[in-house]
Amino acid sequence: MLNEAWRGAGSGGSDASPPGIAAALQHYAVAADQPVVVVSRPRDPAALEVARVRWANSAAADLFGVAAADLVDLAVTRLLPPDPEGAPPRERLSRERRSRYSVEVVTSGGVRRGTEVVAWPVPDQPARPGPGTSREEHYWVVTVAAPGDERAQAAVRAAEQRFATLAQSSPVATIVSDVGARLSRVNEAFAALLGLPAEQLCGTAWLAHVVDDERAGVVEAVARVLSGERVVLDTRLRNAAGQVRWVTVRLAPSQTPGYGAGFVGTVEDVTDRLAREHRLAYQAQHDLLTGLPNRLALLERLADLLAAPAEAAADPLADLRASTGAPPAAGAPARSRTGVLMVDLDDFKTVNDGLGPEAGDAVLVEVARRLSRTVRGADMVARPGGDEFVLVCHDLADLEAVEATARRVLDAVLAPVEVNGLRLRLVASIGVVLLDGLACSAEEVVRDAGIAVHEAKAAGGGRWALLDEEVRQRARRALRLVADLREALARGAIDVHYQPIVRPGRPARLVSVEALCRWNHPELGPVDPQTFIDLAERANLVPALDAHVLSVACRDLAAWRAAHAAGELPHVPGWVAVNVSAVSLSADDFAAGVRRAVAAAGLQLSDVCLEVTETALASDLRACRTVLEELRRDGARVAIDDFGTGYSSLAYLKDLPVDHLKVDRSFVRDLDAAPATTRGAAPGGPARAVAAAVVSLARTLGLDVVAEGVETFAQDEVMTDLGCEAVQGWLYSRPLTRGALVEVLRGGGTLAARPVAPAPAGGQLPSPRGVPA
């Protein structure tokens, strides 16, 4: 095999070539155009045998003046006498590294010629027994450059100069091999990387610093680059101090005349970069406060679970047996399910606001620790954000196992927590979703778990709720309705109706109107206002809804004023009242938005009355007062809506700039329902007393009073007797469309009283059709 390889390399190949080094010699000398001989020397340095020639190419035969076959088995000293320094050739053939020296060769005619000899060892190969081979020998490749071969010498000098100027002082670790895997030169950066002098890394010593389980891959990469490929690989090196460093090695093939196939390469230390990338990858997947997996990691875990093929049921009739209440088949294993439990801390905002964010963080860390202790090793606890945690629990055999897990989690949260010297007792609500048979995305699973949490909170909190299909479908319809509401707002498709506020009489005369939003869904028809307002609150659409109603109401009032000035309408409202939510009132640009809407319609602030509920005031009384005082100072009217239902009504009157009080309909409704409690007393009972107190208080403070929800003559008569200046309710008019109100204005703004039918059981008035469940 070796002989055949060398016959392809040159015409002077010898059949005595040792077969164990054939593969290496193919890399080392096939491309050589200089005299090349392969010599061997005993492995035992103390042996008396001298190095002998095992192969020679045709260029070597020409140099020495004999046939290549005649050179085989000659002692090297016959061809290469000791150099001027006195070192015999076999001493130059050490195992450490490549050697270079000058010597006079002796031709067959006895002529001495000055040459430069470069010798390097062939990597050990397992030798097969054969003529001229031995397992006890080392093999070397020796090239001989004659003085007249200026091209080869110039190439060598140029290569060395390039390395010296470009690589030696470079901060990039650089390695060079003239032939094979043995390094001929390394720069200081590479030496510093391994913590050893450069001379100790030449030869094959550098491979010893490759981590053991990486070494085979590095050797394979070197073989590929020697065959002409460019190679990039990541590996690990162990430096002199024992530290392991990750490096990226880039190798390119290199051919040096007179040497053979080698390579040049760079070695980049990427340990710190990989550490940063690992840290960033960890941070991208984990919550920094608790160390738990974050929302991204949770979604990836759920996606994997949902994508995994469901295992074949051991009992194919298991679902049928379960639906009929029949026991499972004998020997059939229990069906295992994976449950997703979303844990939401009830009233956590109270902890954050009352004790500060640091205390809130401490509570979250403690809850994370407790939840992690309640699950098994294969389960997952994640914190997607805020005060929510999500548990992914496997092997839940039945609903009893689900309930046991949920109650274990509730108990873990319920245990007292000590924060800043205080013992807090937390409460949580849990929503459960079972992944068994679900065909949805990970995002939908988390959303469904949130829906189940909402169900648990709506039932009072401190409990768990399992999401069933009915609740899921209702929630999805609500999501669709939110999307439709958002689109309707964007298109301006939310209608504004107006309920007249009148001065009682026969007939009553319109004083002002209250603007109310109404939504006629293209498929569902009229949607109950409370239904879509609740959805708007959950979707943070209330500020946009308030702004829309204010803008439309101002434009309509301006149009009616213009028609009145033109003589087309004999009567117009004195002002328009619009409801303001707590969210809108607390926005930084609320006052500016009101001014823009009023100015755009060509009105004054005095043409608008802002109705604020006690609930809105309770959210942030100081901020509300600042905004309302600013607008009222510039002419806007302010009314407290639903007055009397809160806990601090009198405090609001003391602290807020108010023009009107609107008595809540709950007091008005009971005025004709309760008989007189004592002989000679007026009808209405306690409700009349409360209404009388409100009217009297308003008179004392110089405020106007409007009674809401007036539906009967008796209610109207009581409120009129008490001195109420204005009323609004279905007795005089339901909320009117823009066109219907214009007809009232054309008639002079008078309205006749028309009692409505008695309210249904429970005291609730009929309302527009809501969203079907």
* Residues 669-714 pLDDT 10s: 877 755 544 454 555 567 788 888 888 888 888 888 899 999 989 8
* Dihedral (Cα; 550, 551, 553, 558), 10-degree rounding: 130
CB 674 within 8 Å of CB 683 = yes
| DSSP E strand stretches across 435-524 | 464-466, 495-503, 508-521
CB 505 within 8 Å of CB 731 = no
What number is the average pLDDT over the span 429-450? Answer: 87
What number is the average pLDDT over the span 652-674? Answer: 76
Please give the Cα distance from 301 to 306 (Å, whole number). Answer: 9
Q: Which segment, 9-13, 147-151, 564-568, is predicted with the most confidence on average?
A: 564-568
Nearest-CA neighbor of 433 among 403, 475, 468, 381? 468
What number is the average pLDDT over the span 411-420? Answer: 86
User: Higher confidence at residue 91 or residue 193?
Assistant: 193
CATH topology of domain 2-148: Beta-Lactamase (3.30.450)
One fold for 2-148 and 481-751: no
Name the maximum alpha-carbon separation found in the chain: 156
**Mean pLDDT computed over every residue of the chain:** 79
Count the neighbouring beta carbons within 10 Å of the beta carbon of residue 487.
Answer: 10
Nearest-CA neighbor of 529 among 709, 773, 768? 768
pLDDT band at 574 (very low <50, low <70, confident <90, very high): very high
| Residue spans per domain, the chain | 2-148, 153-274, 287-308+335-467, 481-751
Please give the Cα distance from 348 to 367 (Å, whole number). Answer: 12
DSSP string, 326-362: PPPPTTPPPPPEEEEEEEEETTHHHHHHHH-HHHHHH
CB 329 within 8 Å of CB 395 = no
Please give the Cα distance from 207 to 218 (Å, whole number). Answer: 8
The tokens for 680 are 């000679």
Q: pLDDT value at position 70?
A: 84
Backbone angles phi, psi at 538, to 5 degrees: -70, -30
Nearest-CA neighbor of 584 among 608, 633, 635, 619? 619
CB 33 within 8 Å of CB 128 = no
* Dihedral (Cα; 401, 405, 407, 411), 10-degree rounding: 150
The conformational region for residue 237 under phi > 0 = left, psi -120 to 50 = alpha, else beta, is: beta
CB 751 within 8 Å of CB 452 = no
**pLDDT tens profile 712-737:** 898 888 888 888 889 999 999 999 99
Q: Which segment, 6-15, 78-87, 749-758, is predicted with the most confidence on average?
A: 749-758
- Helix, strand, coil proportions of the chain in percent (round to 5)? 40, 25, 35
The tokens for 575 are 């002002």
Query: What pTM, to 2 d.p., does this model score?
Result: 0.54
Residue 417 has pLDDT above 80, yes or no: yes
Q: Is 749 exposed, middle or buried (0-12, 13-18, 19+ CB in 10 A)?
A: buried
pLDDT band at 150 (very low <50, low <70, confident <90, very high): low
The order of strands in the sheet holding 464-466 is 380-385, 388-396, 337-345, 428-434, 464-466
Please give the Cα distance from 31 to 257 (Å, whole number). Answer: 8
Contacts of 116 (CB under 8 A, 6+ apart): 100, 101, 102, 144, 145, 153
Q: Is 275 exposed, middle or buried (0-12, 13-18, 19+ CB in 10 A)?
A: exposed
The conformational region for residue 180 under phi > 0 = left, psi -120 to 50 = alpha, else beta, is: left
Q: pLDDT value at position 754?
A: 84
What kind of architecture, by CATH, is found in domain 481-751? Alpha-Beta Barrel (3.20)
Lowest mean pLDDT of 90-94, 179-183, 450-454, name the range: 90-94
Q: Which segment, 117-121, 122-126, 555-559, is predicted with the most confidence on average?
A: 555-559
List, in sequence order, every residue forming a beta bridge with 393; answer none if it has no partner: 339
Residue 32 has pLDDT above 60, yes or no: no
Nearest-CA neighbor of 338 among 392, 381, 284? 392
pLDDT band at 444 (very low <50, low <70, confident <90, very high): confident
**pLDDT tens profile 383-413:** 998 889 999 999 888 889 999 999 999 999 9
Q: pLDDT value at position 367?
A: 92
Q: pLDDT value at position 370?
A: 92
Nearest-CA neighbor of 417 among 431, 430, 428, 406? 428
Q: pLDDT value at position 4?
A: 38
Nearest-CA neighbor of 310 among 284, 330, 337? 337
**pLDDT tens profile 489-533:** 999 999 999 999 999 888 899 999 999 999 999 888 999 898 888
Q: pLDDT value at position 604?
A: 95
What number is the average pLDDT over the span 124-151? Answer: 60
Q: Which single residue is written with the structure tokens 């403070």? A: 701
Percent above pLDDT 70 for the chain: 77
Please give the Cα distance from 277 to 283 (Å, whole number). Answer: 10
Distance from the Cα of residue 191 to its chain's centroid? 42
What kind of architecture, by CATH, is found in domain 153-274? 2-Layer Sandwich (3.30)
Q: pLDDT value at position 160?
A: 59
Please give the Cα distance from 671 to 590 (Å, whole number). Answer: 38
CATH topology of domain 287-308+335-467: Alpha-Beta Plaits (3.30.70)
Question: SS3 of 589, please?
Answer: coil
Please give the Cα distance from 523 to 521 (Å, whole number). Answer: 5
Q: pLDDT value at position 513?
A: 96
Strands 660-663 and 637-643: parallel
Percent above pLDDT 90 for the chain: 29
Sign of the dihedral through C-alpha 53, 56, 62, 67: positive
What number is the average pLDDT over the span 416-441? Answer: 84
Please give the Cα distance from 194 to 691 (Å, whole number). Answer: 92
Q: Where are the alpha helices (DSSP H) in 167-238?
A: 188-194, 212-226
Q: pLDDT value at position 17?
A: 42
Please give the Cα distance from 185 to 120 (Å, whole number). Answer: 13
Count the neighbouring beta carbons within 10 Å of the beta carbon of residue 609.
Answer: 22
Please give the Cα distance from 406 to 535 (Å, whole number). Answer: 29
Q: Which segment, 321-335, 343-357, 639-653, is predicted with the most confidence on average?
A: 343-357
Q: Is 25 exposed, middle or buried (0-12, 13-18, 19+ CB in 10 A)?
A: buried
The conformational region for residue 41 under phi > 0 = left, psi -120 to 50 = alpha, else beta, is: beta
Lowest mean pLDDT of 104-108, 212-216, 331-335, 344-348, name the range: 331-335
